[in-house]
Amino acid sequence: MPQLKLSYFDMHGGRAEPARLAMAIGGIAFEDHRFAFPEFAEVRKTTPFGQVPVLHVDGTQVTQCDAILRYVGKLAGLYPTDPLQALLCDEVMYVVEEAGVKMGPTFRMTGDEQKAARLALVNGSMPQYLGWLQSQLLAHGGEYFADGRLTVADLKVFVDVRGLNSGRLDHVPTDLVEKVAPALNTHMQRIAQTPAVAAYYAQFAA
Ligand SMILES: N[C@@H](CCC(=O)N[C@@H](CS)C(=O)NCC(=O)O)C(=O)O
Q: Give the three-state DSSP class for 146.
A: strand
CATH code of domain 4-77: 3.40.30.10
Parallel, antiparallel, or unpaired for β 60-63 and 4-9? unpaired
Domain with CATH 3.40.30.10 in the chain: 4-77
Where b means 16+ CB within 10 Å and e means fewer, 88-107 reads bbbebbebbbebeeebeebe
Q: Give the three-state DSSP class for 104.
A: helix
Q: Rounded mean pLDDT of 79-104?
A: 98
pLDDT digits (tens, 9 = 90+) for 152-202: 999 999 999 999 999 999 999 999 999 999 999 999 999 999 999 999 999
Please give the distance, rounded to the nearest whole angstrom, from the Cα atom of residue 173 to the centre of ligand 1: 24
Please give the distance, rounded to the nearest whole angstrom, from the Cα atom of residue 55 to the centre of ligand 1: 13
Q: Rounded mean pLDDT of 62-81?
A: 98
Please give the distance, rounded to the nearest whole angstrom, from the Cα atom of residue 51 to the centre of ligand 1: 4
Residue to substitute in 15, 34, 43, 156 for testing ligand 1 pocket (most ligand atoms within 8 angstroms of CB): 15
Residue-level pLDDT at 205: 85
Residue to substitute in 52, 62, 97 for testing ligand 1 pocket (most ligand atoms within 8 angstroms of CB): 52
Domain with CATH 1.20.1050.10 in the chain: 83-193
pLDDT digits (tens, 9 = 90+) for 110-159: 999 999 999 999 999 999 999 999 999 999 999 999 999 999 999 999 99
Contacts of 199 (CB under 8 A, 6+ apart): 24
Residue-level pLDDT at 125: 96
pLDDT digits (tens, 9 = 90+) for 14-71: 999 999 999 999 999 999 999 999 999 999 999 999 999 999 999 999 999 999 999 9
Task: List alpha helices for the chain, DSSP H.
Answer: 17-26, 40-44, 65-76, 83-103, 111-122, 125-139, 152-165, 176-180, 182-193, 195-202
Residue-level pLDDT at 203: 94
* Contact in structure between 185 and 174 (CB atoms under 8 Å): no
Closest residue by Cα to atom 2, ligand 1, is: 64
Report whether the peptide linkage leading into residue 195 is cis, meaning its omega lies within 30 degrees of zero. Answer: no
* Contact in structure between 36 and 62 (CB atoms under 8 Å): no
d(CA 61, CA 154): 26
d(CA 199, CA 79): 21
**Atom of ligand 1 lying closest to residue 66 CA:** 19
Residue-level pLDDT at 206: 66
Cβ of 15 below 6 Å from ligand 1: yes
CATH code of domain 83-193: 1.20.1050.10
Cβ of 50 below 6 Å from ligand 1: yes
